[in-house]
Amino acid sequence: MSELDAFRTEVREWLEANCPAEMREPVRDEGDVCWGGRNFKFKNDAQKRWLEACVAKGYTVPDWPRPYGGAGLTAEQTKVFKQEMKRIHARSPLDSFGIWMLGPALLQFGTEEQKVHYLNPIARGEIRWCQGYSEPGSGSDLVSLQTFGEDKGDHWVVNGSKIWTSYADKADWIFCLVRTDKTNKYQGITFMLFDMASKGVTTKPILLISGNSPFCETFFDDVEVPKTQFIGEINRGWDVAKYLLGHEREMISGGGAGGDMVSIGGAFAKAFGKNAAGELDDPILRAEMAAFDVDVFAYRAMGERFMDMWKTGRAHPASSNMMKYVGTELNKRRHELVMSSGGSEALEWDSEETKGGARPRGWLRTKANSIEGGTSEVMLNVIAKRILDLPGA
Amino acid sequence: MPLYHNDDQAMLKDSVAPFVAEQAPVSHLRKLRDSADATGFSRDLWTQFTEMGLPGMLVPEAHGGLGMGHMEAGIVLEEIGRNLTPSPFLSTSVGAVAALAKAGGTQAGRWLPAIASGEAIIALAIDEGAKHRPDRIATTATRAGNGFRLDGKKSFVLHGHVADMSIVAAKTDNGITLFAVPKDAKGVTADPRRLVDSSLASHVTLDGVEVDADAVIGEVDAGGEILDALLAATRTGAAAEMVGVGQGAMDMTVTYLKERKQFGKLIGEFQGLQHRAAHLYGEMEVARATVMKAQQLLDEGSEGVKLMVSVAKAKAGRAANLAVREGVQMHGGIGMTDEYDIGLYMKRDRALAEYMGDVHYHIDQVARMNGY
């Protein structure tokens, strides 16, 4: 038996012994997701036990080094671990912007002391982070951000506001882009870290068209931030931000940009019934669905090729922008078809039969796919400039 | 297997791409067209193809070929597409080889070595009307004497008027049977028509054509599977050629955007064109990945191949169509001239898109294969 096979057996046995049956059920709603943090309320005992078991093994962040709370797995072992998790439909023990976003930035740019200090509480689910990037006046043109940190010797005094801060009202700490030099656009931003309980921080949830409020406006009013709490170099926070945006697009490209990558027509044929020829009984919708399915299967092949090339350094560095663009536009189209298929039932907003309007809310949520993390238009700009090398782009 | 070309395949591309670009660029097509060439391709070029071993790429080594796969054949087809090279490669070296290799037997033994040696040109006589409907074959093969008698009409038979042998799909008592009908068979009339892309495709009439029993490719009534193999290979090949056509058109157009000035600016500076070019890039990349996936599944003999072949033919059809339409539009007035090459790309794409099932046919197939 190879070492990897031995590892697989070990993981399989550990999961069998430690993953509670309830944690092998599909995630039904937001309440089933464990976000951790100071104020997190576990939905049930199983969710708590599952987190604790994973924390003890370093399995909330399996590929992070052990001193930072991970299990120190190699890339191959991590793949095996994920396969084994998937095999038993195990839920993620802990979802967190600390794991997805801040962690990679710290691993890349943080000092040893910072890594030990910040990564361990993330891995244990003790501190929940949020991300302060966009501002009311700085969306696609993020680098124009105005939130300002005035230098007061041993600390900054931060004033300004952020928008689209995911779960800011539930987060313990924020990683935040703050202007520290008004004379230098790109090299005048610092990547700061501070406690959301600091004096002068307030949050206000934003009600979205989906009826949900996952995002907040976040206001900073004379917030004092010690001058030790930043990553990278002072005034060089844009480098960290760019790294993270690239990382985010890579994650999206490798995973869910295209949403659920299965045939849509197959799923709806039942609801519609079929005609004598065995075809979905709405020829125009059938045609649109089939055209969509072609694009889904095609994008699936593209995803496979992209990952094969990305992992071996063959991909164009900007190709993740193309993946994000194509995938998110595809997912929006899927949900348009889901709504068309559902007819008037899919309009119901809060009935029990429709799981609280899951379809219309999901449909509306997907409209953000091509806005967040870089709009489709920005993706096209990047492709035009960096891949096609078009002039003045 | 990863979904990119391995070192051997990259080497093949490095030798085939410059060869086709030098020996058979778009000017080669123009020369044939303007001289009203009656063959439909250059036999000299086919000899050069043979010297490189290309006609027998997919022919098993036991029959004198190179025993390569569809991923490799796709490399050649993409270059043929990029250069709009008139060639019998797709029908002879891909479609016919797939059928003969699948069937084995007498006809495989007779024709596969002749294909590999560059001696035989093979035509595929499948379609019977203006649209591709292989499930409605009406040509009949009735038993007569020691063999069969073929009656019917075939259309869109590329190289049909010059082929040394045509693979004819006909209805037999309990299914479909494929026949190898030699060039000089009595009762066969091939009426070649010049198509929009300057290629020649024949209307073939089979009027009481008598063939021996050993003209059957594979077994009587069991041609369905062999036809499926022929169609999967030819469709995937046409899709690969379309990726070449689309890529050629796109490259030419992006270059033009960097040269043409209007309003005192390079037109490539206008965001209205940049976004369309970037969108096209994405579509072409996805089409390329899809075609490679279909080639890979064909080479692995995978079960899921049929779905992916239809996806590839449809997706490559859509993407290449976008490439040539955007190509002509972004070239502006000059794109409408015969002198400029972009229009030739549009014409070839149209013919390839129609060949062995158009976008709509294959979208419909995808729906059927997914149970709706």
The pLDDT tens digits for B83-93 are: 999 999 999 99
> What CATH code would you report for A129-236?
2.40.110.10
Write out the two tokens for B127.
Answer: 């379609």
The CA dihedral of B284, B364, B298, A254, to the nearest 10 degrees, is 50
Architecture of domain B123-221: Beta Barrel (2.40)
Residues of B in contact with A298 (CB under 8 A): 286-287, 289-290, 311-312, 315
- Residue B59 pLDDT level (bands cut at 50, 70, 90): very high
Q: Where in chain B is the domain with CATH 1.20.140.10?
A: 224-369
User: Are A274 and B362 an interchain contact pair (Cβ–Cβ within 8 Å)?
Assistant: no
Which of A294, A322, A391 is the closest to B266 by Cβ?
A391
The average pLDDT across B203-231 equals 97
Question: How many Å apart are CA A62 and CA A57, to the nearest integer?
Answer: 8
What are the φ/ψ torsions at residue B201 (nearest 5 degrees)? -130, 140
How do strand A230-231 and strand A189-195 relate by DSSP bridges?
Answer: antiparallel
Give A227→chain B minimum CA distance, Å: 42
CA A104 to chain CA centroid, nearest Å: 13
Write out the two tokens for B303.
Answer: 């079960």
Architecture of domain A3-95: Orthogonal Bundle (1.10)
Write out the two tokens for B230.
Answer: 């022929």
Which of B277, B366, B371 is the closest to A390 by Cβ?
B277
- DSSP helix/strand/coil, B369: helix
How many CB atoms sit inside 10 A of residue B162's CB?
18
Residues of A in contact with B288 (CB under 8 A): 305
Question: What is the per-residue pLDDT for A216?
Answer: 95
Question: How many Å apart are CA B192 and CA B148, to the nearest integer?
Answer: 25
Q: Where in chain A is the domain with CATH 1.20.140.10?
A: 255-387
- Nearest CA among B236, B74, B288 for reference residue A301: B288
Q: What angle do CA A285, A289, A295 make, to 5 degrees?
A: 150
User: Are B3 and A304 an interchain contact pair (Cβ–Cβ within 8 Å)?
Assistant: yes
Compare A259 and B136 and report the one with higher pLDDT.
B136
Q: Where in chain B is the domain with CATH 1.10.540.10?
A: 7-120
Q: What angle do CA B34, B40, B43 make, to 5 degrees?
A: 105
- Nearest CA among B369, B367, B246 for reference residue B316: B246
Choice among A207-211, B26-30, B236-240 with the minimum mean pLDDT: A207-211
- Residue B219 pLDDT level (bands cut at 50, 70, 90): very high
Spatial contact of A162 and A176, defined as CB atoms under 8 Å apart: yes
Question: What is the per-residue pLDDT for A262?
Answer: 80
Which of B269, B279, B363 is the closest to A294 by Cβ?
B363
- Nearest CA among A362, A188, A183, A170 for reference residue A259: A362
Which of A269, A301, A384 is the closest to B278 by Cβ?
A384
Residues of B in contact with A319 (CB under 8 A): 285
Interface probe, candidates B286, B302, B307, chain A, greatest A C-beta count within 10 A: B286
Q: How many CB pairs under 8 A join A and B?
A: 145
| pLDDT above 90 for B168 | yes
Complex confidence, ipTM = 0.96
Write out the two tokens for A354.
Answer: 């429709």
**Residues of chain B in Cβ contact (below 8 Å) with chain A:** 2-4, 254, 257-258, 265-266, 268-269, 271, 274-275, 277-279, 281-283, 285-290, 292-293, 307-308, 310-312, 314-315, 318, 362-364, 366-368, 370-372
Please determine, looking at this structure, whether the domain spanning B7-120 carries the CATH number 2.115.10.20.
Answer: no
User: Are B372 and A269 an interchain contact pair (Cβ–Cβ within 8 Å)?
Assistant: yes
Architecture of domain B224-369: Up-down Bundle (1.20)
- CATH topology (fold) of A255-387: Butyryl-CoA Dehydrogenase, subunit A; domain 3 (1.20.140)
User: Are B367 and A290 an interchain contact pair (Cβ–Cβ within 8 Å)?
Assistant: yes
Question: What is the per-residue pLDDT for A258?
Answer: 62
Give B328→chain A minimum CA distance, Å: 18
Spatial contact of A176 and A187, defined as CB atoms under 8 Å apart: no
Give A271→chain B minimum CA distance, Å: 11
Question: How many Å apart are CA A82 and CA A77, to the nearest integer?
Answer: 9
Question: What is the per-residue pLDDT for A265?
Answer: 85
User: Which amino acid type is present at position B255?
Assistant: T
pLDDT in tens, chain A (393 residues): 689 999 999 999 999 999 999 999 988 777 889 999 999 999 999 999 999 999 999 999 999 999 999 999 998 899 899 989 989 999 999 999 999 999 999 999 999 999 999 999 999 999 999 999 999 999 989 999 999 999 999 999 999 999 999 999 999 999 999 999 999 999 999 999 999 999 999 999 999 999 988 899 999 999 999 999 999 999 999 999 989 887 877 776 655 556 667 888 887 877 778 888 889 888 999 999 999 999 999 999 999 999 899 889 999 999 999 999 999 999 999 999 999 999 999 999 999 999 899 999 999 999 999 998 889 999 999 999 999 999 985
Q: What does the pLDDT look like over B289-331, one tens digit per residue?
A: 999 999 999 999 998 899 999 999 999 999 999 999 999 999 9
By C-alpha distance, the chain B residue nearest A385 is B274
Interface probe, candidates A302, A308, A376, A378, chain B, greatest B C-beta count within 10 A: A302
| pLDDT above 60 for B26 | yes
Can you give the three-state secondary structure of chain A, one letter per residue? CCHHHHHHHHHHHHHHHHCCHHHHCCCCCHHHCCCCCCCCCCCCHHHHHHHHHHHHHCCCCCCCCHHHCCCCCCHHHHHHHHHHHHHCCCCCCCCCHHHHHHHHHHHHHCCHHHHHHHHHHHHCCCCCEEEECCECCECCCHHHCCCEEEECCCEEEEEEEEEEEECCCCCCEEEEEEECCCCCCCCCEEEEEEECCCCCEEEEEECCCCCCCCEEEEEEEEEEEECCCEECCCCEHHHHHHHHHHHHHHHHHHCHHHCCCCCCHHHHHHHHCECCCCCECCHHHHHHHHHHHHHHHHHHHHHHHHHHHHHCCCCCCCHHHHHHHHHHHHHHHHHHHHHHHHHHHHHCCCCCCCCCCHHHHHHHHHCCCCCCCCCHHHHHHHHHHHHCCCCCC
* Alpha-carbon distances, residue B44 vs A329, B84, B87, B118 (angstroms): 48, 17, 11, 11
What are the φ/ψ torsions at residue B197 (nearest 5 degrees)? -95, 15
User: Are B289 and A302 an interchain contact pair (Cβ–Cβ within 8 Å)?
Assistant: yes
Question: What is the per-residue pLDDT for A241?
Answer: 93
Q: Where in chain A is the domain with CATH 1.10.540?
A: 3-95
By C-alpha distance, the chain A residue nearest B314 is A294
End-to-end alpha carbon distance in chain B:
31
